[in-house]
Chain A
């Protein structure tokens, strides 16, 4: 039952070393995929297994298949998976709560069935003799693949293309959202702000709001900026600090500052 003896191929030393180094790595990656809890680890291990397989393909004189696997699956499809996983949540880990009753036992049964099926096929199959790589790769590997795809299998290839385009269109339609109001872009916002200012609105709408600590004695994030009258600008302190009540109050300023602010306030009252 030795496949090497069957096809008459000889495993060179380099190939042997490559196989015995990469195969355990691929198996470890596959096991990590099964037993890891964090989704990003799972995605990374799938990528690792894919790369190992791609190197095997290349070593088996199918460089186009190997490279296409990396470009399409590892580089694009898995990357999109990672993208989604990361957007769903950084810390999300797989929940092991059984949502469907009896799901686990059905899965185990299905798994055993699959193993029996695969073993049965591998043992019982009678493969035809290989015609040889030299013939398949006569005009280099990509040309050989191209002949098959665009010659013998062109119809199924185009069907697959149509299927993928349909899927993409479906995704576009499902995620499409009719905009109910007009979109307010950077330009429209700026126009509206300036129009409001032109009609006698406050200049704060068109200028940058001060960051915490401007003109104040301290530049820590909790001390509010002071305006032209020496009064604290509450909006300059980050919202989080304001909600938590960690904003520096007037009482936390030094005494002469408080006195100055108080005096200014008096002056304003006299002015008014």
Chain B
């Protein structure tokens, strides 16, 4: 492709690619491919081992040290399975779909910076640890993610079967909805760092990581990142309990393996984006970055920090999977459209206003933040003096609240009151003081039981 001119303006990439020959680019591209493939093999082991720990079992531990090479026989077995092309399939698109998925998944890492400029060992060549960078790199990532959905959608459609179609329709709706939230979360980073190029965003986090300064945007990104990758708790496109396997139901062997590969690379992708955009990219975390005048931010060291942060996010993925259950579809859509997007939008507006005031009026950030904090304290004070709405209703409805279990245990014992076992429509235990009706089964007991006490009776 065309050479990207070195740009001095802050909106462009912060690193210089002008020394890269085509061979250096090829070497970098191959290195990224190899890195991603090995990472996926490692991620399979990593996820299974961790899930095992979460579920109090061992996980794969036989092949290789700690079961490390378990993924290789598994992958071989998958590839050697029979490759089925279903009769009702639209053949061309059926074969194209997994290719699209994998292709798009591999393309994101082209603009992810692994580190600063380094000298390649045994040579005099100095080059950034990044394949390329664009002034619109993060938008490029969003575009590629949008294209990746075509793999899922076309795969589900071309299978010519109901469950895959439902899975792919769900996935379309899901990715479009969650990409909005994700895009808005990223916009606030663009505003404060003044650039959409990944290397420039990393260099703008020298003082403070955006995950701290823009915490709401970071939270929105994390949530929509789970939605984008179809992972639990948002794995509705392939919800195995409802849709068998979703869009990949009719795929087997190599084609299925491609979908699987794409899914794991996508996890690495969103983790790498989160690292780059919000967690300072390859920059060393704070106490380390201060050592010896930033020694750990130079040379090959940053690669280590990048990988640690990346796998931190991968750990988070597995943790969430082990902890949370799948959302119901309407809850999921409700969450995306009525919670995530408005929150992200409000945050973008707030960030834009603060940034605008700062740039156009020349007031420094500290003053603005103090004014904002003062306003918040004032708001809190005003809220404190407004009486809580509906406080009277709550006091009056204590009896009915006790039935739903939300009340405090301050109910007066009522003696000999009629006990309705289906109060409110649900089977409920008796309240303190209420008497259970005599059990119908008691008549059947032939042997005399121990003398009953009142406590036992009222316990039910």
Contacts and interface: CB of A to CB of B under 8 A. Distances in A.
B142 A142 contact: no
A75 B146 contact: yes
Nearest to A80: B176
A59 B179 CA distance: 26
A44 B11 CA distance: 34
B422 A79 contact: no
A23 interface: no
B422 A194 contact: yes
A18 B1 CA distance: 7
B157 A141 contact: no
Interface residues of A, number: 43
B1 A86 contact: no
B150 A143 contact: no
Contacts of B425: 191-192, 194-195, 198
B134 to A, nearest CB: 5
B2 A71 contact: no
A139 B143 contact: no
Nearest to B134: A63
B15 interface: no
A75 B2 contact: no
Contacts of A40: 90, 93, 154, 157-158
B245 interface: no
B196 interface: yes
Nearest to B168: A86
A41 B93 contact: yes
B135 interface: yes
B426 interface: yes
A227 interface: no
B11 A75 contact: no
Given A40-B93, A63-B135, A79-B149, A90 B165 contact: yes
A61 B134 CA distance: 11
Contacts of B165: 86, 90
B422 A198 contact: yes
B9 A15 contact: no
A139 B168 CA distance: 41
B143 A64 contact: no
Contacts of B150: 44, 47, 79
Contacts of B147: 51, 70, 74-75
A76 B176 CA distance: 7
Given A44-B93, A67-B143, A140-B135, A59 B422 contact: no
B169 A74 contact: no
B140 interface: yes
Contacts of A214: none
Given A142-B11, A195-B425, A71 B157 contact: no
Contact of B157 (A51, A90, A140, A194): A90
Q: Describe B's contact surface by its main secondary structure.
A: helix
B136 interface: yes
Residue in A47, A51, A139 with the greatest tally of chain B CB atoms within 10 Å: A139
A87 interface: yes
Contacts of A15: 2
B191 interface: no
B182 to A, nearest CB: 11
A124 interface: no
B172 interface: yes
Interface in A50-95: 51, 54, 58-59, 61, 63-64, 67-68, 70-71, 74-76, 79-80, 82-83, 86-87, 90
Contacts of B154: 40, 44, 82
B152 to A, nearest CB: 11
Contact of A74 (B146, B153, B168): B146
Contacts of A38: 90
B7 interface: yes
A68 B11 contact: no
Contact of A79 (B1, B12, B153, B427): B153
A12 to B, nearest CB: 7
Residue in B146, B169, B421 with the greatest tally of chain A CB atoms within 10 Å: B146
A245 interface: no
Interface in B152-170: 153-154, 157-158, 160, 165, 168-169
Contacts of A44: 93, 150, 154
A14 interface: yes
Nearest to A139: B9
A71 B175 CA distance: 12
Contacts of A195: 422, 425
Contacts of A143: 9, 11, 135
A67 B90 contact: no
Interface string B1-33: 110000101011000000000000000000000
24 contacts: A40-B157, A64-B136, A67-B140, A67-B142, A71-B139, A75-B146, A76-B176, A79-B149, A80-B176, A83-B153, A87-B169, A90-B157, A90-B160, A90-B165, A140-B7, A140-B11, A140-B12, A142-B136, A142-B196, A143-B9, A143-B135, A195-B425, A198-B422, A198-B427
Interface of B: 1-2, 7, 9, 11-12, 90, 93, 134-136, 139-140, 142-147, 149-150, 153-154, 157-158, 160, 165, 168-169, 172-173, 175-176, 179, 196, 421-422, 425-427
Interface of A: 12, 14-15, 18, 38, 40-41, 44, 47, 51, 54, 58-59, 61, 63-64, 67-68, 70-71, 74-76, 79-80, 82-83, 86-87, 90, 138-143, 191-192, 194-195, 197-199
Q: Which 8 A-B pairs rank lowest in CB-CB distance, beginning with the nearest?
A: A75-B146, A198-B422, A70-B143, A140-B135, A195-B425, A140-B11, A140-B12, A67-B139
Given A64-B139, A199-B422, 15 more contacts: A40-B93, A67-B134, A67-B136, A70-B143, A71-B146, A74-B147, A76-B146, A82-B157, A83-B169, A86-B169, A140-B7, A140-B12, A141-B136, A142-B136, A197-B422
